[in-house]
C-alpha cells in the first residue's frame, strides 16, 4: 500500500472523526478535508489538482440540485405543494403513522422519478408538517431520504446508478434486464427497510425539536380571519381545514351572523363569511395568512396600493411620539397614513376584544402590519415607532398561481421521464418559468437555494475524487474481493455487495461502480468463476444506492442533514444496521432468483 493511500485514508479518518464528534458542520469539515488533500499534492501528482477538486462544484448533478430549490420555491410560494401533499399526509396521530404516510408515496414516486427533486420539494412540506403535528423533524427527515432510496431500487430507471450499471454490463449479460427485473429484489428490500424504520426509529432516531416557543412569555396577538365564501375550507370542519392544534395558536371563537360560537370543537363546520378569532404568536399568525380560504377580517388589506403577493408582515412598536397615539386605528386613518393595514395588536398580554379599527393606540403597543417591503426602510429612522422588523417567511402565498406551478412541475417530470430533456435542462426551464409566471419572485428564487447544502455536496465529491485518483478506493475493492474468491461465487457476491456499499458511503455511486465493475468482470469471467453477470449487476445496483450509514453517502442525506438537526453519528447509529439488513436480504434473494451456476 503506497504512502499516498495511507495519507488519504488518514485525512478521511480525521474528517469522519470530526463529524462524529460534531466538531464542525459537514460543509466546514468536508471543505477543510478537500483543502488539505489539495495542499498535499505538492508531494505527489497522484493527488487531485485544485482544478480537479473544485470541478465538482460545476457538476451537473450539483447544479441541478440548486435549480430544483427554485422549482420547489415556486411550488411553495403558490401553495401548490400543500395542495398536492395534504391529501397524502393528512394529520397522523402518531410518529409511526406519519412515517408510513410519508414513506409510501415518496418510495412510489422515486421508483419512476429522480430522487433529488422529490426530496427537494418535500423538505419545506415536511418542515411545515412537523410544526402542525408537533412531531420532531429528526423523526421524519431521515425517513424521507431513505424512502426515496427504497423506491429507487425497485425499477431500472429508479436511479441514474441503475442505468450506469446496466449500460456498463449490458454486453456481458446472458439475460436482458427489463424495467422491473430489479424489483424482485428491490421491492422486498424496500419493505424490509420501511419496517426497520418504523421499528428502530423510536430508539435510534434522535428526538430533537426546533426552537421551541414559550407561550407564557411570547407575544400573543389576537387576530381575526375571515372564511372566504366558496373557498376550499367553506363547508369543512375545523379539523379538516387544518385549524385544530395549531402550533402556538388556538381558535377562541367564531362569529357567524351576529352570533358568537365559543369553545368550538374540531367537528364544527365552517361557513363562508365566518369570522374566526385566534390568539397566537407571530409565527402562527404568519402561517394563518398562508392557509387557502382564509383572509384577514379587516377590509383595509384590500385597499393597499401594493399587490397582495408583494406584501410582507411587519412588527412595529408604537412610540410616544407617534401622531396617532390616543386615536383609534380607524379614526387615525392608519392605512392611509402609513400605507399599511393593522392585522393584530399586542398590548402587555391583554386580550383585545374590540374590532381592530376600534382599538385606541397607546405607546408600547406592538402592531402586526401587512404592508409593502419598503415599509421597514422608510420607518426605521423615523420616530413614529420604537422598533420595526419584518416577520421572517411572511411572504403571502399566491394561491391563484398554484395550478400554474403544478403544470410546470408535471411538464418537468414528463420531459425528464420520456427522455425528451435531461433533468438539468427541464429543471432550468421549470425554474425560469416559475419566475416568469410570477409563481415566485427573483429574490425568492435566489434566497431559496440552500448554499450550505451545495457546498457540502460539492466538497464531498471533491473528497471522493481524491479517493479515486490516489487508488485508495481501488485498493479497498481489490483486497475485499480477492479475500472472498476462495469461498466460491456466493462469497464473491457478498464481497461485491460489501465493497460497493463501503465505497458508495464515501465516494460517488458511479465512481464506486466504475471501480468495482472491472474486478467483478474478471472474477465472474470464464477464466475464473464462469457465472452469469446478471446477479452481480443487480447486486451492484442495489449496493450502490442502498447506502444509509453516512450523510455523505447520498446527496439526499446531505439535503436533510441540517433541516433535521442531525449529527454524523445519527446516520451511523441508525443507518449501519439498515445497511447490513438490506445486504442480507439482497445476498439471500439474488442467488435464489438467479442461481450462480457455472455457464456451459
Q: By the 8 A CB rule, do 533 and 173 touch? A: yes
Q: What is the CA radius of gyration of the chain?
A: 28
The H-assigned helical ranges of 78-134 are 80-89, 95-110, 115-133
Q: How far apart are CA 506 and CA 551, in angstroms?
A: 9
Q: How far apart are CA 164 and CA 143, in angstroms?
A: 26
For 260, the 3-state DSSP assignment is: strand
Mean pLDDT confidence for 423-440: 88
Q: How confident is the model at residue 300, as a pLDDT?
A: 63
Q: How confident is the model at residue 1, as a pLDDT?
A: 64
Q: How confident is the model at residue 303, as a pLDDT?
A: 64
Q: How far apart are CA 374 and CA 366, in angstroms?
A: 19
Q: Is the pLDDT of residue 85 over 80?
A: no
Q: How far apart are CA 587 and CA 581, in angstroms?
A: 10
Q: How confident is the model at residue 9, as a pLDDT?
A: 79
**130-134 LR contacts (CB < 8 Å, sep 24+):** 130/210, 131/210, 131/247, 131/287, 132/91, 132/242, 132/245, 132/246, 132/247, 133/91, 133/92, 133/98, 133/245, 134/245, 134/247
Q: How far apart are CA 316 and CA 340, in angstroms?
A: 11
Q: How far apart are CA 293 and CA 246, in angstroms?
A: 16
Q: How confident is the model at residue 119, as a pLDDT?
A: 87
The H-assigned helical ranges of 418-525 are 423-436, 442-448, 451-469, 472-484, 489-504, 509-524
Q: How confident is the model at residue 258, as a pLDDT?
A: 75
pLDDT digits (tens, 9 = 90+) for 495-549: 889 888 988 887 767 667 766 776 777 667 666 667 778 888 889 889 988 899 9
Minimum mean pLDDT among 230-239, 247-256, 436-445: which range? 247-256
Q: Is the pLDDT of residue 210 over 60?
A: no
Minimum mean pLDDT among 195-209, 438-452, 583-597: which range? 438-452
DSSP 8-state assignment for residue 188: H
Residue 522 C-alpha cell reads as 474478471
| Cβ count near 262 (within 10 Å) | 8
Chain centre to alpha carbon of residue 529: 44
Residue 123 C-alpha cell reads as 423538505
| Cβ count near 73 (within 10 Å) | 26
Range with the largest mean pLDDT of 106-110, 213-217, 412-416? 106-110
Q: Is the pLDDT of residue 598 over 60?
A: yes
pLDDT category at 309 given cuts 50, 70, 90 is low
pLDDT category at 142 given cuts 50, 70, 90 is very high
Q: How confident is the model at residue 582, as a pLDDT?
A: 96
Of the candidates 506, 544, 523, 533, the residue with the CA atom closest to the CA atom of residue 599: 533
Residue 237 C-alpha cell reads as 370542519
Higher pLDDT, 175 or 344: 344
* DSSP state string for 279-322: EE-HHHHHHHHTSTTEEES-GGGGG-SS-GGG-EEEEEEEPTT-
pLDDT category at 570 given cuts 50, 70, 90 is very high
Q: First CA to last CA across the chain, in angstroms?
A: 38
Q: Is the pLDDT of residue 370 over 70?
A: yes
Q: How confident is the model at residue 543, as a pLDDT?
A: 92
DSSP H or E segment with residue 198 = helix 183-204
Q: Which residues lie below 8 Å from residue 524, measured CB to CB, with a gap of 6+?
A: 489, 492, 530, 531, 532, 533, 536
The overall average pLDDT reported for the chain is 80
Q: By the 8 A CB rule, do 545 and 149 touch? A: yes
Burial of 265 (0-12, 13-18, 19+ CB in 10 A): exposed
Strand-pairing partners, residue 340, are 371
Of the candidates 397, 439, 88, 437, the residue with the CA atom closest to the CA atom of residue 231: 397
Q: How confident is the model at residue 249, as a pLDDT?
A: 75
pLDDT digits (tens, 9 = 90+) for 466-487: 766 777 766 766 665 666 656 6
Q: How far apart are CA 592 and CA 330, in angstroms?
A: 79
Q: How far apart are CA 190 and CA 184, in angstroms?
A: 11
The H-assigned helical ranges of 21-49 are 26-39
Q: How far apart are CA 232 and CA 250, in angstroms?
A: 21
DSSP H or E segment with residue 53 = helix 50-54
Q: Which residues lie below 8 Å from residue 174, measured CB to CB, with a gap of 6+?
A: 532, 533, 534, 599
DSSP H or E segment with residue 370 = strand 366-371
pLDDT digits (tens, 9 = 90+) for 286-307: 777 777 788 777 766 666 666 6
Q: How confident is the model at residue 214, as a pLDDT?
A: 47
Higher pLDDT, 50 or 449: 449
Q: How confident is the model at residue 513, as a pLDDT?
A: 74
pLDDT digits (tens, 9 = 90+) for 315-326: 888 998 888 888
Q: Is the pLDDT of residue 174 over 60?
A: no
Q: How confident is the model at residue 253, as a pLDDT?
A: 80
pTM for the complete prediction? 0.66
Query: Cell 387576530 identifies what position?
Result: 223
Q: How confident is the model at residue 43, as a pLDDT?
A: 47
Q: How far apart are CA 242 and CA 251, in angstroms?
A: 11
Walk me through the domains of the chain, giving residue ranges and CATH numbers. Answer: 221-390 (3.30.70.1450)
pLDDT category at 355 given cuts 50, 70, 90 is confident
Burial of 83 (0-12, 13-18, 19+ CB in 10 A): middle
Q: How far apart are CA 475 and CA 52, in angstroms?
A: 21
Q: How confident is the model at residue 552, as a pLDDT?
A: 83
DSSP 8-state assignment for residue 138: G
Q: By the 8 A CB rule, do 192 and 585 touch? A: yes
Range with the largest mean pLDDT of 54-63, 219-228, 317-326? 317-326
pLDDT digits (tens, 9 = 90+) for 389-422: 888 766 777 777 888 988 998 888 788 777 788 8
Q: How confident is the model at residue 42, as a pLDDT?
A: 44
For 70, the 3-state DSSP assignment is: helix
Strands 221-227 and 294-296: antiparallel
Q: Is the pLDDT of residue 563 over 80?
A: yes
pLDDT digits (tens, 9 = 90+) for 86-107: 777 877 888 999 999 999 989 9
Amino acid at each position: 500500500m503506497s504512502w499516498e493511500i495511507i495519507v488519504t485514508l488518514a485525512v478521511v479518518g480525521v474528517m469522519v472523526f470530526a463529524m462524529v464528534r460534531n466538531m464542525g458542520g459537514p460543509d466546514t469539515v468536508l471543505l477543510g478535508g478537500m483543502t488539505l488533500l489539495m495542499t498535499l499534492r505538492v508531494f505527489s501528482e497522484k493527488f487531485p489538482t485544485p482544478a480537479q477538486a473544485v470541478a465538482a462544484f460545476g457538476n451537473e448533478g450539483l447544479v441541478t440540485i440548486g435549480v430544483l430549490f427554485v422549482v420547489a420555491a415556486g411550488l411553495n410560494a403558490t401553495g401548490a405543494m400543500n395542495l398536492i401533499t395534504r391529501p397524502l399526509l393528512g394529520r397522523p396521530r402518531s410518529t409511526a403513522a406519519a412515517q408510513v404516510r410519508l414513506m409510501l408515496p415518496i418510495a412510489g414516486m422515486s421508483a419512476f422519478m429522480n430522487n433529488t427533486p422529490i426530496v427537494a420539494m418535500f423538505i419545506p412540506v415536511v418542515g411545515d408538517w412537523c410544526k402542525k403535528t408537533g412531531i420532531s423533524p429528526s423523526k421524519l427527515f431521515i425517513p424521507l431520504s431513505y424512502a426515496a432510496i427504497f423506491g429507487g431500487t425497485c425499477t431500472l430507471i429508479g436511479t441514474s446508478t441503475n442505468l450506469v450499471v446496466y449500460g456498463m454490463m449490458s454486453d456481458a449479460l446472458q439475460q436482458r434486464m427489463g424495467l422491473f427485473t430489479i424489483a424482485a429484489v428491490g421491492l422486498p428490500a424496500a419493505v424490509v427497510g420501511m419496517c426497520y424504520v418504523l421499528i428502530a426509529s423510536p430508539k435510534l432516531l434522535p428526538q430533537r425539536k426546533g426552537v421551541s416557543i414559550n407561550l407564557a412569555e411570547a407575544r400573543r396577538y389576537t387576530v381575526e380571519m375571515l372564511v372566504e365564501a366558496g373557498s376550499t375550507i367553506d363547508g369543512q370542519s375545523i379539523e379538516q381545514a387544518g385549524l385544530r392544534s395549531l402550533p402556538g395558536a388556538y381558535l377562541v371563537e367564531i362569529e357567524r351572523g351576529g352570533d358568537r360560537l365559543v369553545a368550538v370543537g374540531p367537528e364544527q363546520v365552517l361557513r363562508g363569511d365566518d369570522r374566526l378569532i385566534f390568539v397566537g404568536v407571530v409565527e402562527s399568525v404568519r402561517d394563518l395568512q398562508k392557509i387557502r380560504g382564509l383572509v384577514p377580517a379587516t377590509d383595509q388589506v384590500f385597499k393597499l396600493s401594493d399587490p397582495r403577493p408583494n406584501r410582507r408582515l411587519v412588527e412595529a412598536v408604537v412610540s410616544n411620539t407617534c401622531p396617532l397615539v390616543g386615536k383609534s386605528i380607524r379614526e387615525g386613518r392608519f392605512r392611509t397614513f402609513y400605507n399599511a393595514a393593522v392585522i393584530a395588536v399586542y398590548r402587555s398580554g391583554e386580550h383585545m376584544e374590540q374590532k381592530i379599527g376600534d382599538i385606541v393606540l397607546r405607546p408600547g403597543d406592538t402592531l402586526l402590519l401587512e404592508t409593502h417591503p419598503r415599509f421597514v426602510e422608510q420607518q426605521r429612522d423615523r420616530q413614529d415607532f420604537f422598533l420595526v422588523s419584518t416577520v421572517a417567511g411572511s411572504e403571502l402565498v399566491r394561491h391563484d398561481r398554484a395550478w400554474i406551478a403544478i403544470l410546470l412541475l408535471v411538464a418537468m417530470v414528463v420531459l425528464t421521464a420520456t427522455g425528451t430533456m435531461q433533468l438539468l435542462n427541464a429543471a432550468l426551464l421549470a425554474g425560469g418559468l416559475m419566475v416568469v409566471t410570477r409563481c415566485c419572485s427573483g429574490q425568492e428564487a435566489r434566497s431559496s437555494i440552500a448554499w450550505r447544502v451545495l457546498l457540502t455536496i460539492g466538497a464531498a465529491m471533491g473528497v471522493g475524487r481524491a479517493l479515486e485518483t490516489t487508488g485508495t478506493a481501488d485498493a479497498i475493492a481489490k483486497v475485499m474481493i480477492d479475500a472472498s474468491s476462495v469461498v466460491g461465487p456466493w462469497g464473491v457476491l457478498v464481497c461485491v455487495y460489501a465493497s460497493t456499499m463501503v465505497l458508495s458511503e464515501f465516494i460517488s455511486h458511479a465512481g464506486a461502480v466504475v471501480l468495482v465493475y472491472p474486478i467483478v468482470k474478471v472474477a465472474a469471467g470464464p477464466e475464473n468463476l464462469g457465472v452469469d453477470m446478471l446477479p452481480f449487476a443487480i447486486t451492484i445496483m442495489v449496493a450502490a444506492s442502498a447506502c444509509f450509514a453516512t450523510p455523505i453517502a447520498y446527496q439526499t442525506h446531505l439535503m436533510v442533514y441540517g433541516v433535521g438537526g442531525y449529527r454524523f453519528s445519527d446516520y451511523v447509529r441508525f443507518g449501519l444496521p439498515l445497511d447490513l439488513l438490506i445486504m442480507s436480504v439482497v445476498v439471500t434473494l439474488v442467488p435464489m432468483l438467479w442461481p450462480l451456476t457455472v455457464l456451459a
